[in-house]
Amino acid sequence: MSLYLGNEYQITLVALNRFCALFFPRHYSKIFALRPTLIVIILFYVYRLAVVIYMTAVAVARGCFYSFSTTSLSWQYPPDPACLFEDNIMIIVLTTFVGTTCLNMVTFVHILNFYRSMDMHDRTTQKRIRKNAMLFFQTVLQDSLYIIDLSFTFKLSALSSHRMWSSISGTLVWESLHMLDGFIMLVFNDRFSFICAREDSVESTASVAPRRVPIHHLGSFG
């Protein structure tokens, strides 16, 4: 019931963007031009905003206000049968994750086959293959974080009624995953990643050839 779910739709849109660029390059400029893409993104958030406004209006009409409970140390609705809302957010996020992962996997395999078909084994080609593999792995990792968060919030939190477990599943896991998301971006970033920096330093060291410095004798200048 959050606007944040619009970001999940954008993840699928990015995966479709890459897929279309590889398999339908002739139609890519028309389908994913700036104006159509902007319209689709706006529609995503307009739809999510409409859902949030509708659900909020229903909750207010029923007298169900979302508040932080000092007893369970978590955000929750009042324990009233009228405040039990059915939400299909887990199904939506899981379907989005599976579909996006399949699209990214097909795209990655296509790129990998392209490099292998060129029958090039130079250092530059191998570096590009590793970079695409790391980007695919990064995408899967970051996409899975939201599912883990929702699983603890809506499913695993019901395993125990202890206030400590409610705080862990509802707050600690959420904050830890946000920190982990930022850490993943730093690890896979070309500028800050120690993995990429190590590969670049090894490659630059191996590519630098010893040069002879010309020595001019004093007598040669008259």
Each residue of 85-102: pLDDT tens digit?
A: 776 777 888 888 899 999
pTM of the model: 0.70
Q: Is residue 180 a part of any domain in this protein?
A: yes
3-state secondary structure of 21: helix
Residue 98 lies in a domain: yes
> Does the residue 215 lie in any domain?
no
Is residue 222 in a domain?
no
Q: How much is the pLDDT for 196?
A: 53
Does residue 147 lie in a domain region?
yes
Total domains, the chain:
1
Residue 211 domain-assigned (yes or no): no
C-alpha–C-alpha distance, residues 139 and 15, integer Å: 10
pLDDT tier for residue 200 given thresholds of 50, 70 and 90: low
Structural domain containing residue 148 = 5-204
Question: Does 107 fall in a domain?
Answer: yes
Q: What pLDDT, on a 0 to 100 scale, did the predictor assign at position 198?
A: 54
- How far lies 214's CA from each of 154, 211, 217, 222, in Å? 72, 9, 10, 17
Phi and psi at residue 28, in whole multiples of 5°?
-65, -45
Q: Specify which of 36-40, 61-65, 89-93 reaches the highest per-range mean pLDDT.
A: 36-40
DSSP-derived secondary structure letter, 68: E
Report d(CA 161, CA 164) in Å as an integer. Answer: 9
